Every structure is written in structure tokens, then in C-alpha cells.
Amino acid sequence: MRLRPLIMLAAASLLVSCGSSDAQKQRVLYSMDTYMTFTAYGENADKGLSAAADVISELDGKWSAENENSEINVVNIHPGQAVKVSTDTASLTAFAKDMYIITDGALDISLQSVVKEWGFTSLEHHIPDDARLASLLKNTGADRIEIKDDSVTIPEGMTIGLGSVAKGAAGDIAAEELKRQGVESAILDLGGNIRTVGVKPDGSEWKVGIRDPFGDGIFGVLLVGETNIVTSGGYERYFELDGKRYWHILDPETGRPAESGIVSATAVGAEGRYCDALSTSMFVMGKDKAIEFWRSRRDFDLILVTDSREVLISEPLKESFFLQDGCDWSVTVIE
Amino acid sequence: MIRNQRFWVAVAAFVFLSAVAASIILYFSRSESTVRIIQDGKVVTAFELEGHPDEELVFEYEGRKNIVEIKDGRLRMRSADCPDKLCERSGWCGKGSLPLICLPNRLVIEFTASDTDAVAR
């Protein structure tokens, strides 16, 4: 009888060592002009990842700027005509139009022709002259897009691109699919947009680093449950000419790379597409406007880094955000 | 009876100790690699960058080659058979969170920040 505790201890120790190698499954996808790493845990992980990968490739076919036959490009080659699209595409386009209005024009999906002019799509970079930019900007303004009954109409001369919202929306849809397949714990990296499902398999929170806009590593970490963390910075896609750096996030007003004093803008919240749109918008808005915007809404959280290495975080994050060891930047809590 | 009991104590102890050893090995083997190279969705190699001997690694995808050079604890894409050469322009990369990506050849070199679950960028 005295043996029983010993045997139970041995059995328990076996369980513990198996537990530490938890059923983690991972999948890497090359989609939406970037690469994505999906990690899921538990018995439904494989099934969930396959379903999520299918969903992503389907969305890529609808939203890709590179695929000529994508729904977005069909809309682009038929300006002035109502083009029937899927509900996913109509809904995302309508959302992006709303964001244009809400952000006072800081997020504009109709800037695609300007993005192209700079060479950010072909990678044949050059600096457009003022006259060229002025003429292209005459045809922008996402408030002029019409969406009705899953049909999208853009005015003559306009080209739209969903790059600033597609990955966020894809994260929302992929996370939903994972849950539908019974996955309770997963972390999705969609080209640097982070989407979590549930908490870690051991019940603890996810630890998500945020890229240092000045260097290689991370400047801070955020402890989170189920959420989205989306960061925009000038370090992701850019080119350099005569010692000056030109990044792909353009100011819709000038058609030039946004120089607002913000070098990294992170939005945290329940909806991926909203966070995706907001990280870009705040990068364009600059510190004061972004803070004013947050105060007027309070339905997301922010982490901003200015060019003078000041970190601004919204009040709800003050218990969950930590500067990386050795990072001595000042942190201001916005209330 | 006593012998029988000793036998089971020994079995229990053996199971317990092997489980402890397995846990330790599993725990440490996880944080060992700081860099992993993924091609076409599969991890082709993973290693610790610091103290890695200087070396050139060659990866092929659909007949196109990427040469990765490792030197003095850093790495770079020395050459890539792809139209954009974006990865070559990234230059030398140290340990951190920056991924080096050659999308046309589906090659990704990730620096895994070992103490985080993901990095937003």
C-alpha cells in the first residue's frame, strides 16, 4: 500500500514531461505579399491550421494587389462601373471607407496610384515630382468609393489597394476559423500583425515583443490574452536615396512618406482590421492627433514611439506593457 | 514480499528520474536555437548565431539559389537569384527580431526572440 504514492509520483512526473512538449503545430504561409506563421495548440491544431490556411489563400485571391484577377483589381480596371464582389471584399472596402471618414483622411485605400508611382509595388523606386503627385492626388479620397449590395464602384482615375487593412481582416477571419475547428489556443503572425486566440496552453498570457524602430531587436513587450497587436513603422518597406529614407506609409494629403514625428505606432484591440487601419493612421496623424483620436474613442489601445525616443501608452496598458531590459526611453501614460 | 517492494520502488524511481531528465532536456532544447531558416514552409535549419563558425549556406528553390553568409555572429544574404534583391540590400543582421525574407524564393531567416511568443513589427 505504501507503494501507491511512489507509483503515482512516477506517473505524474511522466505526465508533466509530456505536458512540456505540448501538441504545438505550426504552419508557414506565403501570402498577401508577405509570410505568415500560424501556431496552434491542442488536439484540433492540425485541423484548425489547415482550415485557416485555406481561408487565407482564398482571401489572398480576392484582395491581392499583385494578382490581376483579384476582386480588387477587377474593381480597379472597371472604374465608374458597379463591380459585383464577395461579401468579404465589399465589407472590407466599406470598413476602409468608414475609417477614411473617422480618421479624417489619415487612412486612404484610394492612394494606390501614388504608392505605385513611388515604386513601392514594383520596387523600381523613384521620387515623383510635385506636379505628378498633385495630379494623382486629384483622384484620391476613399469617401468617393460607393459600396452597395456587394458591389463596389470607384470613380474614373482612382485605384484602390487594401494593403493597410487586409492582413488585419485576414487575422480576424483566420482566428474565427480556428475557433470553429475547436482550437482554443493559437498565435498568428501575419507578416508582423499579431493575432492571438485564447491564452497559452498553460493558462498564462502571451508575451508579444514590439520591434525597435531604431534597431534590430524589440523595445518592449506586452502581456496579452486574446487580442490583436498591429505595429506600423518606417522600417518595413522603404528605399534610400542620397542618404534619405523614403518609407511606404504615405501621407494622403501630400502623397509623400508621412513624417509626423512618430516612428512606430501600435494599435491593440479586439478587431484586427481596426487595429491594422489604426496603426497606419496614427503613424500618419502624429502624436497629438493620435492621442486626441484615442481620447475620443477609447475602443482600442496604443503604443507610440516618437523620433525623440519617447514612448506613449494608453492608460489601460500600464500594467501589461514593459520596456525591454536595457531600454531607457521615457514612457508617458496617456489618460 | 520485501524484494518485490524494492523492485517497484526501483521502477518508480527510474520512471521519475527519466521523466525529470526528459523535462530538463525538453526545456533547454527549446531555447537553444536563436535563428531558424524556413524555406517553402519548412524549417530547413535552426542554430545559435552567437559563436557559430563562419560558414556559407546555400538554399535552392525551383533552380534559383540563395547564399547566406554567417560571419562573426552575424549573417547576411550574400546573393539571391531573384528579381528584387531586397534581401541582399538588408546587409548584415545581428541577433534580434528582424526577419530576412526572400519572398520570390520563399526563404525566411528568422531571429527568434527566445523569450517572447511573437514580435509585432
* Residue B51, domain CATH: 2.60.320.10
Which residue from A297, A290, A279, A328 is spatially nearest to A312, judged by alpha carbons? A290
Whether B116 maps to a domain, the answer reads no
Same domain, A55 and A76: no
> Which chain B residues are Cβ-neighbours of A208 within 8 angstroms?
116-120
- Determine, yes or no, domain membership for A207: yes
Report which residue type is found at A276. Answer: D
What pLDDT digit, counting tens, does each position of A255-313 carry? Answer: 999 999 999 999 999 999 999 999 999 999 999 999 999 999 999 999 999 999 999 99
**What separation in angstroms does the CA of B62 have from each of A163, B66, B87, B105?**
28, 11, 18, 8
**Within this chain, do residues B3 and B38 fall inside the same structural domain, yes or no?**
no
DSSP string, A25-62: EEEEEEETTEEEEEEEESTTHHHHHHHHHHHHHHHHHH
- Say whether pLDDT at B101 is over 70: yes
Contact between B77 and B90 under an 8 Å Cβ cutoff? The reply is yes
Q: Which of A16, A206, A230 sits opposite B117 (nearest CB)?
A: A206
Number of domains present in the structure of chain B: 2
In tens, the pLDDT along A48-57 reads 999 999 999 9
How much is the pLDDT for B95?
Answer: 54
* One domain, residues B103 and B59: yes
A310 and A179, same structural domain?
A: yes
**B117 assigned to some structural domain:** no
Residue B120 lies in a domain: no
- Higher pLDDT: A331 or A235? It is A331
Cα–Cα distance measured from residue A214 to residue A259, given in angstroms and rounded to the nearest whole number = 15
Contact A128, A160 (CB under 8 A): no
A291 and A185 in a common domain: yes
pLDDT at B2: 67
- The verdict on residue B102 lying in a domain is yes
Same domain, B16 and B54: no
**Residues A45 and A194 both lie in one domain:** yes
Claim to verify: residue B40 and residue B24 sit in the same structural domain: no
Task: Return the pLDDT at B97.
Answer: 41
Contact A30 B103 (CB under 8 A): yes
Q: Which of A130, A153, A176 is the last residue of a domain?
A: A153
Is the same domain home to B19 and B59? no
pLDDT at A68: 87
Q: Indicate the number of domains in chain A.
A: 2
Beta-carbon separation of B117 and A208 below 8 A = yes
pLDDT of residue B36: 81
Residues B65 and B102 in one domain: yes
| Residues of chain B contacting A266 with CB distance shorter than 8 Å | 120
Domain hosting residue B7, numbered range: 1-30
Residue B67 at interface with chain A, using a CB cutoff of 8 Å: no
Averaged pLDDT, B90-114 = 73
Q: Determine the structural domain holding residue A87 and report its residue range.
A: 70-153
**Residues B53 and B11 both lie in one domain:** no
Highest mean pLDDT among A26-40, A116-130, A181-195, B66-80: A181-195
Which of chain B's residues have a Cβ under 8 Å away from the Cβ of A218? Answer: 96-97, 113, 116, 119
Domain shared by A146 and A194, yes or no: no
What amino acid occupies position B48?
E
- Residue whose C-alpha is closest to residue A194's, from A274, A265, A272, A311: A272
- Position A24 pLDDT exceeds 70: yes
Say yes or no: A104 and A246 in one domain: no
Are residues A77 and A136 located together in one domain of the fold?
Answer: yes
pLDDT category of residue A20 using cuts at 50, 70 and 90: very low
Q: Is residue A115 part of a domain?
A: yes
